[in-house]
Amino acid sequence: MDLGYYRYPSIAGDRILYVCEDDLWSAPADGGAGTRLTVSFGACSFPRFSPDGAWIAFVSTDEGNPELYVMPAYGGEPKRLTFLGATIVSTIGWSEEGTGIYFVANPTTWYEGETRPFAISRTGGTPHKLNLGHVRSLAFGPQNRLAIGRNAADPARWKRYRGGTAGEIWLDAGGTGTFERLPLPNGNPCWPMWIGDRIYFVADHEGIGNIYSCSLAGADIVRHTNESEYYVRFPSTDGKRIVYTAGGEIGCFDVAAGRVHRIEVATHSPMPQTARRFEHASESLEHFVPNPDGTQIAFDSRGQEFTMPLFEGAAIRHGGGSRARTRLTQWLHDGEHLVSVTDAGGYEQIAVRPADASVEARLVTDGDIGRVTDMVCSPTSNVVAFANHRHDLCLLDLNDGNVRVVDTCPSHRIADLAFSPDGRYVAYVWWPTYGTSIIRIVKVRSGKVHDVTTPLRFDKSPAWDPEGKYLYFISTRDFNPVYDALQFDLSFPQASRPFVVTLRKDVASPFVPKPKPIHYDHHHDHDRWNNKPFKPTDIDIDFDEITGRVLGFPVEEGEYEQIVAVRERVLFTRFPVKGIKPARREEMEDDERGTLLAYDFDQQRIATIASECDEIELGRDGRTLIYRSKDRLRAIDALNDLPEEGDEQKPPSEPGRKSGWIDVDRANVEIVPRDEWAQMYREAWRLQAEHFWVEDMSDIDWDRVYDRYAVLLPRVRTRGELSDLIWEMQGELGTSHAYESGGDYREPPQYQRGFLGADLRWDDEREGYCIERIYRGDSWNREHDSPLAEPGLNVSEGDCIVAIGGKRLSHDVTPDQLLVNASGKNISVTLREKKGHERTVLVKALASEGALRYRAWVEEKRRFVHERTGERVGYLHIPDMGPWGFSEFHRGYLSEFDRKGLIVDVRYNR
């Protein structure tokens, strides 16, 4: 049979629904061929049949956010019912008469996991929020009785979880509105289903998630399924049968018969998301490095290896494509071979291949070398230095495959490996204790290790002077505190700068200018570099008292990242120090580009070479420097004349030799999804095996786990299904912070809804949506305050909104509908005031109400505490342990600490 990876089943009459390939399918309830019902741009989930089997309610991300849709059960055009702009939406079921749909979502809560139940008519309109608090699932019983599932929705992703947010089932057994928690075993119970006089649910208190039932008092617990390999997931019922998935298959429990059987479904499809495709190399650009003579570049994109001339000529793709992942590609010293890390054999090994792709790669290593975290090739011999996740520094002889461990760090990964120009030494970053790093040098032949700097704070990015006089690095060795602007405190926001250490005692400071006549030609000494490869002399190092020969560059402190050295000049990157917008996690990403600076020792001055620079790599010719700017690469001559202050010019944007921009998209990455998914699955499993916090994998047979879920890979047809499989596989470890995120999902249109920061209610008499509450945040930050509260608009609670964007509102045409695709945009809002006068105002719709509603929530709690304690007790809330929580702690503490007591609220801490 043509088997797919099935999720979210539902059953009614003689049909079942399920999700495969991110779309809805229908099949006979006793098995057979499936029929595709949707062709989605996004992904569908949680389909539910109406009681008569005529309609399907489901969730889709076709226009960006998950929203509720409805469609005929036999197929047809889906109708969008909700316009919430929420991040979590799941369908619960239908009303008994089939005219209403129940679902849960989080549109009005600042905490993502605080989902609330809603009801909406099958024909649309404004959703009605049920007054039940936090809910993840609902089950309706006779006489208005109700069961509620809280906290958990999918125990398979965190198996055997027993923490504070484990599932709970609460029951209103009498239909009075009073709920009691069922005293169930400690097994993360979820998905209550009310059938007859028993509550059915999923739990894993016996080790595997199965379906159980209990009496209305929580007693007489009976197990009904016997899944032994995979958890029962996302069950639903028609009152007679319960369908669920386990291991991508659909199971059905007949309640009356007490029997479980598999529903064998064939899902015939061309499987469009498994089709081969191509993407530009710039879309997934990873590591890059110029070749020794500066004429070519090697880079990794989406785990594949490429070489190409800088500006002219075609790209060459190396390796086996999507079947393996290649990383950290380097040029061998001869400029004719490449060295890279590959997992083609299932585990990472180091391989060598000719750059002309004349023959396949040769694996040099064949043993367990760990996961390689950094790698660099000798500039003079067939020796490779690499560091691994086990904190080892290793030297590999490419001629015989011999691997020597020359150093091991007790507290951190060794990083920033750099061969000396003569190939006799490797400099690197080593951590004597966690949180403190130094620069070390190891002699390649003897393996003898020397400390170059003393432990102080952070040293990084060692770079050798091409003439062997100096070693440069970045360090936080200046302790010049800055007073905090909000409280009596000090910090070090800009603590690093470049440093240099002289390698011999007779080498003078590079910051002492040399006498020269006025007619001195600065470029004269560079003539021998213009077209000839630089051949370094042997480097001698006086390690005696070397730690006392550290000198700081005469530049201001800042946030420096990388440093490279050419003759009588160093180049380094500096990034701006700026505050983090902490209100929501998606705002924490800082897209500020860095600046590429050069310090010239002959001229004793610093100059800006390029802006919008993220990362730099210097070729072994000592001149070719390639820098990355987001997804673009540019090559420049590191010995070009330094611009005078204010003369920096932005290069032309077109690629070519004149601008220096490299057309990386001459390389196309061929993607064979199923090959790639198999590699990704293996790597995800291997990463856990190599990095898990205890060696015995929490007493889990991790090899067996690999085999158990690998057999499901042939069923997987979409990137979303692969993510689901990896989530459940990692869930076997039963540990937190074992996540899978991101991914090359099918991208639907992003018609993001705008928000007005207000609670609205339809008023039949006034024929408009009355403003019941305007949420106030920080008026000085318009992204965190209601647009309706903009000064000068004079909008008041009690006013009615009768039109948005010039379109009149009605009971069926809601504000939510007209705010779709209005995120961050200026819109017109027509108001009818209490006296009947209409006027139109211009507002800018918010992209999210999360921060605004959070501020209102905190201020309500603070007012409550102040009122109840006569202003004697203060209140503050800490939403997480990152920048947002740090910000909120200081905001609350500094204004509340001088009271008689202080309540610190950590509920919903993320």
Give the model confidence (pLDDT) of 48-60 as tens digits: 999 999 999 999 9
Q: Report in angstroms the alpha-carbon separations of 346 from 326, 341, 684, 686.
A: 12, 12, 11, 9
- How far, in Å, CA of 144 to CA of 513, rounded? 89
- How far, in Å, CA of 447 to CA of 429, rounded? 16
Q: Could you tell me if 485 and 450 are in contact, meaning their C-beta atoms sit under 8 angstroms apart? A: no
Which H or E run contains 388? strand 383-388
pLDDT of 582 over the 90 cut: no
Q: Could you tell me if 439 and 420 are in contact, meaning their C-beta atoms sit under 8 angstroms apart? A: no
CA proximity to 112, closest of 904, 848, 858: 848
Average pLDDT of every residue of the chain: 92
**Under 8 Å CB-to-CB from 131, ≥6 apart: which residues?**
none
Q: Which pLDDT band, with edges at 50, 70 and 90, does 357 fall under?
A: confident
Q: What is the CA radius of gyration of the chain?
A: 32
- Write down the pLDDT at residue 535: 64
Give 708-730 pLDDT, tens digit per residue: 999 999 999 999 999 999 999 99
Of 251-260, 445-454, 589-598, which gets the smallest average pLDDT? 589-598
- Write down the pLDDT at residue 521: 59
- How far, in Å, CA of 691 to CA of 841, rounded? 57
- Please identify which residue in the block is written with the tokens 């530049």: 555
- Write down the pLDDT at residue 530: 54
- Write down the pLDDT at residue 587: 45
The phi, psi pair for 664, rounded to 5°, reads -65, -25
- How far, in Å, CA of 626 to CA of 287, rounded? 12
- Write down the pLDDT at residue 533: 55
CA proximity to 51, closest of 102, 1, 6, 85: 102
- How far, in Å, CA of 394 to CA of 441, rounded? 13
For CA atoms 317, 318, 324, 326, the dihedral sign is negative
CB environment 310-324: b (16+ within 10 A), e (fewer): bbeeebbbbbebbeb
- Write down the pLDDT at residue 529: 47
- Write down the pLDDT at residue 810: 92
- Write down the pLDDT at residue 517: 77
- The number of beta carbons lying within 10 Å of the beta carbon of residue 274 is 18
- How far, in Å, CA of 79 to CA of 41, rounded? 15
- Please identify which residue in the block is written with the tokens 């000494």: 525
- Please identify which residue in the block is written with the tokens 């420096």: 560
pLDDT of 528 over the 90 cut: no
- How far, in Å, CA of 47 to CA of 69, rounded? 9
- How far, in Å, CA of 800 to CA of 444, rounded? 78
- 3-state SS, residue 272: helix
- How far, in Å, CA of 66 to CA of 69, rounded? 10
- How far, in Å, CA of 779 to CA of 757, rounded? 12
Average pLDDT of 808-817? 93
CA proximity to 822, closest of 786, 788, 846, 849: 846
Tokens representing 770 are 């009355």
- Please identify which residue in the block is written with the tokens 């003078």: 508
- The number of beta carbons lying within 10 Å of the beta carbon of residue 355 is 18
- Write down the pLDDT at residue 527: 47
In the chain, the percentage of residues whose pLDDT exceeds 70 is: 96
pTM of the model: 0.92
Beta-carbon-side half-sphere exposure of residue 863 (alpha carbons within 13 Å)? 6
pLDDT of 586 over the 50 cut: no
- Write down the pLDDT at residue 111: 87
pLDDT of 583 over the 90 cut: no
Cα angle: 191, vertex 195, 198; to 5 degrees? 85
pLDDT of 588 over the 50 cut: no
